[in-house]
Structure formats: structure tokens, C-alpha cells
Structure 1
Amino acid sequence: MAMISLYLFVSSGKMAEAKDAQIKNLQADVEQLQDSVKNTQLKVLEMQYFSLENNDDALAYYDHLSLKNPSGYISDKLLETNESKGTNPLVPYEGMEGDFKINKIKVLNHKWILADFSDGKYWGELLIKYELKDDLGVDFTLIDHLLYTRNN
């Protein structure tokens, strides 16, 4: 009986040490994951800095309009320019593998948009000035553009 008690005492001590080591490893993993989450949150905040949705001063320009999502509305109006036949009229290049159409849009503030365009193989970017009017019409003016070259 004494031998069994001694064996159980020693083995439970080793189990407790193993569990303590496992807990310390898990705590280190949790701390690493918390740091990773904090870094990701900071990156997201940094990416949102130039965004109409997070710019109260720019959004104030649209207070008199009954738009719940000005950025979405402006993006939709810009995408409507893709509906014209051929290359989008805001893209100053002729498509090489098809028509150039705007794909991605980032409404920076109450005046400017960054947009990506592509014909499926070639792509580029546009800097567009826009004006949202009181009648909810939107005028777009191309400020600058670039077309990436392929190296293959």
C-alpha cells in the first residue's frame, strides 16, 4: 500500500509539472496571438485613414443629402461608367486583350478617388476627381493615370 501511495504521489507530481509547463506554453501562445491581433488592428486603422467613411470632415459635405452611404453611392456611379460600349471613358488607354474596365474603387474623401482598371491581362490605376451634386449627379474628371507594363 505504501508503494502504491508513493508511486501515485510521484506520478501526480510529474503530471502537475507537465501541466504547469503546458499552461506556460499556452500563455505564451495567447500573448503572441494578442500581439498579432493588436498589430492587425493597427494596420487596419492605418489602411482606413484615407477613406471617406472615416473622414468626418469630408462626410460633412454630404450632410444636406439623404445618403446613408456616400462612398457606396459614388462607387456605384463610377462603376456605371463601365456600362458604355468599349473601354471605360475614364481610362485613357485602348484595351489590348479586351476593353479596359474599372474594377476596384477607393473613395479617399469628398473630392478624390483611386481606381484600378484592367482588360483581364493588363492593368493600371486612375486618380479621379469627382463632384457629387445636390441632385445626386456625379461628375468625374481624370486627374492622372498609369498603365503597368508586363515583363514577360
Structure 2
Amino acid sequence: MKRNIFMYLFLFVSLWVVFQYVNNTKVYESQQKQIISLEEKHQNATDSVTALQQRLAETEYFGLRTNVNAYEYYESSTIEIDDIIQLVSDGIYSKNTLEGNSFIPYEGDERQFQVNQIHVLNHRWLIADFSDGNNWGELLIEYFVNEDNSIDYRVIDSLLYS
């Protein structure tokens, strides 16, 4: 009788060990597949971030904050670069009125043209995007910061997309 109990106990334990082995193997393989999938997603995300950083660096190449020569131009000035950008932008945006913007040499179809966005290229030029809701265009504007921190503007060229 003891022999039968030990035999049945041994058989039960053997089946239990085999069951646990098979189950753990399946769980391990499933986790490995999940790890590989997550590693691929992580690599794709890392590649995307790297590509976006490169695009951002290319985009910001022409910008007052990142242009070393333009930055050096204002080193001896008492006004900060961020303040210059703000002053220049405010000066352009302040020309947006119900009658249009005096820098824009075009007449709008339904509404008057307004400046939407500005990008300060360096210590002398900026690009402005404008539209009337239907038509879009761009301006290349030259600006000068005077001794009294006032700003003079001169439109160099403009284009209207058809």
C-alpha cells in the first residue's frame, strides 16, 4: 500500500513538473516575443526622435538664436536676443489692422491680408507668412534696430501663391 501511494505520489509530482515546465516554457517564449516587439518599437521611436532632431537642427539653422554671427552682432547691445525677436515680431503684428497690413502690397479677395507668422532669420532679415483666408504669400523684410531700440522695416520682396 505504501508502495502504491509513493508510486501515485511520484507519478502526480512527475506530471506536475512536466506541466509546470511546459507552461513556463510557453510563458517564457511569449515574454521573449513581447520583449523583441518592444525593442523594435523602442528602436523605431529612437530613430524617429533622431530624425526629428536633425530636421529641427536644419530648420533652426536660419534663426537669430542659432546663428552665431548674428548673435555676435548683438553681443555689445544692452538688449537681449529674445527681446529683439519679440520687438521685431510685435512691430510686424501691430501693422495688422482691419484695413490689412501696410507691409503687404496685395489686395485680398474677401478679407484684407494679415501677417500670420514670422521667422527672424538673422540680425537683419525676417520672413513673414500672410494670408487673407484664400490666398497665401510671404514677405522678406529687412529690419534695423536703432540706438533707442526702435525698429525700422523695409520690405525687400514679396510673393503671392496662386
> TM-score, normalising length from structure 1?
0.90
CA contact (8 A) 2:142 2:155 kept: yes
Find 2:139's aligned residue among 126, 145, 152. Answer: 126
Match in the other structure for 2:85: 71
Alpha-carbon deviation of 1:138? 0.9
Identity percentage over the alignment? 37
Residues 94-135 of structure 1: per-residue CA shift (max 9 Å, x gap): 122111111110100011111011112222111111111111
CA contact (8 A) 1:53 1:71 kept: no
- Give 1 or 2 for the bigger CA radius of gyration: 2
Moved over 3 A (4+): none
1:81 is paired with a residue of what secondary structure? coil
Query: How far, CA to CA, are the matches of 1:52 and 1:127 in structure 2?
Result: 15
Match in the other structure for 1:40: 52
Does 1:101 find its partner at 2:101?
no
Alpha-carbon deviation of 1:142? 0.8
Residues 20-70 of structure 1: per-residue CA shift (max 9 Å, x gap): 121111111111111111111111111100011111221222231323512
Query: How far, CA to CA, are the matches of 1:90 and 1:99 in structure 2?
Result: 12
Query: How far, CA to CA, are the matches of 2:81 and 2:65 in structure 1?
Result: 11
Aligned length: 148
Alpha-carbon deviation of 1:92? 0.7
Query: How far, CA to CA, are the matches of 1:119 and 1:35 in structure 2?
Result: 39
Aligned pair in 2 of structure 1 residues 68, 106: CA closer, same or farther (>3 Å)? closer
CA contact (8 A) 1:52 1:110 kept: yes
Q: Mapping of 1:1-152 within 5 angstroms?
A: 1=12, 2-63=14-75, 64-67=77-80, 69=82, 70-83=84-97, 86-149=99-162
Q: CA RMSD in A?
A: 1.4
1:88 is paired with a residue of what secondary structure? coil
CA contact (8 A) 2:74 2:81 kept: no
